Amino acid sequence: MDEWLAVADLSALARRKKMQVDVGGVPVALFLVGQKVFALADTCIHKQRSLSRGVMLNGCVVCPGHQWEFDPATGYEATQDRYQPSYEVRVEGTTVYVAERPRVMEPAATPGSGGAG
CATH code of the domain covering residue 57: 2.102.10.10
- CA angle, corner 100, sides to 108 and 103, nearest 5? 0
Domain count, the chain: 1
Evaluate whether residue 107 is within a structural domain.
Answer: no
pTM: 0.87
By CB neighbour count within 10 A (0-12 exposed, 13-18 middle, 19+ buried), where does 64 fall?
A: middle
Pair 103, 87: CB distance under 8 Å = yes
Evaluate whether residue 30 is within a structural domain.
Answer: yes
**pLDDT tens for each residue of 1-46:** 579 999 999 999 999 999 999 999 999 999 999 999 999 999 999 8
